[in-house]
């Protein structure tokens, strides 16, 4: 293992003071800029992942190249629609009953006792949601043995330093996965929430539900957030073509064309 520290990785965080003629320059050690999966100086808007094959590729890369909790976070993130900090702050008691069983969604839609209750930091209130079959499959893989001991205040995504994984750490892992999988669009932690919204809209076209769930002030904001507005704009340009050259084509001469 290479244990050398670069200039940016030095352990001391104290400022280095250099005295020049009339100026004092303070140089603070700082982390090197990360290499995002978009080109430097390019578009930095974060996008949803819209193709199933790209989701499959991301999941495969995470399975083989990252700690297994990042694959779990990826799957729960695109299926629950939580903000990244809310996802990473999930505790065992949020997803397990006291007997150690998962709070999985039932087929009885009138019974809401299987609902999860997650605190939303941004709006300072709790929101109900459900673990769908994809979440349950992932959690069964992650926790093959169920017992009452799983019902605790332990974080679902613990860090080695204590507490939970940081949002920036998750962002870096997702960007590494996206770059390795050749995804062209910029990927970040909001990608998980936006992907959730995109697939829900493709399934039921209920933009009002998503607007309410995301807490947006208008449906247009929600459509832009999940990448639908841009799609429909491109589709409109593609489908509406007012062709005049086609009508004149029999009368056009080669000199006109040139």
Distance, CA of 218 to CA of 28 (rounded, Å): 43
Active site residue 194: no
**Residue of 193, 198, 200, 201 marked catalytic:** 193
**Residue of 164, 171, 190, 200 marked catalytic:** 190
Active site residue 124: no
Distance, CA of 85 to CA of 165 (rounded, Å): 9
**Residue of 70, 104, 151, 225 marked catalytic:** 225
**Residue of 92, 172, 179, 216 marked catalytic:** 216
**Residue of 69, 83, 103, 171 marked catalytic:** 83
**Residue of 23, 122, 125, 251 marked catalytic:** 122
Distance, CA of 174 to CA of 1 (rounded, Å): 24
Q: Which of 30, 47, 41, 25 is nearest to 190 (CA)?
A: 47
Active site residue 193: yes
Distance, CA of 188 to CA of 61 (rounded, Å): 16
Active site residue 122: yes
Active site residue 190: yes
Q: Are 222 and 216 in contact (CB under 8 A)?
A: yes
Q: Which residue has the tokens 């941004």?
A: 122
Active site residue 224: no
Name, in order, each residue with C-beta under 8 angstroms of 216's C-beta and a sequence gap of 6 or more: 222, 225
Active site residues: 83, 122, 190, 193, 216, 225
């Amino acid at each position: 293992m290479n244990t050398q520290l670069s200039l940016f990785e030095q352990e001391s965080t104290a400022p280095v003071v250099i005295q020049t003629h009339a100026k004092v320059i303070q140089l603070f050690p700082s982390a090197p800029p990360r290499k995002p999966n978009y080109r430097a100086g390019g578009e930095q808007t974060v996008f949803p992942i819209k193709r199933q094959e790209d989701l499959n590729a991301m999941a495969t890369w995470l399975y083989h190249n990252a700690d297994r909790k990042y694959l779990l976070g990826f799957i729960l993130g695109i299926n629950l629609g939580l903000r990244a900090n809310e996802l990473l702050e999930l505790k065992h008691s949020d997803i397990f009953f006291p007997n150690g069983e998962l709070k999985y969604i039932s087929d009885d839609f009138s019974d809401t006792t299987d609902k999860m209750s997650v605190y939303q930091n941004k709006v300072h209130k709790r929101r109900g949601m459900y673990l769908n079959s994809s979440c349950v499959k992932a959690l069964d893989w992650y926790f093959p043995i169920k017992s009452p001991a799983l019902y605790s205040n332990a974080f679902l995504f613990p860090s080695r330093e204590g507490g939970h994984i940081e949002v920036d750490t998750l962002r870096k892992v997702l960007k590494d996965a996206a770059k390795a999988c050749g995804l062209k669009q910029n990927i970040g932690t909001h990608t998980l929430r936006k992907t959730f919204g995109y697939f829900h809209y493709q399934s039921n076209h209920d933009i009002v539900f998503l607007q309410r769930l995301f807490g947006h002030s208008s449906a247009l904001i929600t459509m832009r957030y999940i990448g639908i507005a841009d799609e429909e704009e491109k589709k409109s340009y593609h489908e509406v073509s007012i062709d005049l050259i086609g009508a004149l084509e029999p009368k056009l001469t080669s000199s006109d064309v040139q």
